[in-house]
Amino acid sequence: MPHKRHRPHNVRDQHAERNIRSDMCSVVDSGGRLFVRGQVGYTVHATDRKLVGPGDPAAQADQAMKNVRQLLEEVGARLQEICKVKIWVTDRTFLEPVMNVVGRHLKGIPVAYTLVIVDGLARAEMLVEIDVDVVRSARGA
């Protein structure tokens, strides 16, 4: 069964200032296992991408989780099907506000977490990136 690729694009579309040419997509469906591109504080609308909450890790985490929800809904999945969440922050002090935001979005959904503090993300203004792995539940179960 071939993988289904949702929202394909090229890196140059979002990083025109860099000489990067690489095809990617926002979600890959591999037989019910979903790989979601890491989400940040930018809105997911390609024509109107903007950073939400410059300098505010909680606001960026909130937008990233809204993006996750939107992308999952677009492919017929739900937040309840998230199995693992990986979170990268650029400062240790961001862990508490970011985890509280993610916790509100995933209230009542116990997931496995990985938390990583990094020196930086793809753009200097990005303070947090959230990546999820999803396994679709059997419908009707």
The dihedral built from the CA positions of residue 97, 102, 108 and 109, taken in this order, carries a sign that is negative
Query: What is the value of pTM for the model shown?
Result: 0.85
Low-confidence ranges of the chain (pLDDT < 70): 1, 5-25, 45-48, 138-141
The pLDDT value recorded for residue 19 is 58
Look at residue 55 in the predicted model and tell me its pLDDT: 94
Between CA 89 and CA 113 the distance in angstroms is 13
- pLDDT, residue 53, reads 87
The whole-number pLDDT of residue 54 equals: 92
> CB 35: neighbour CB atoms within 10 A?
16
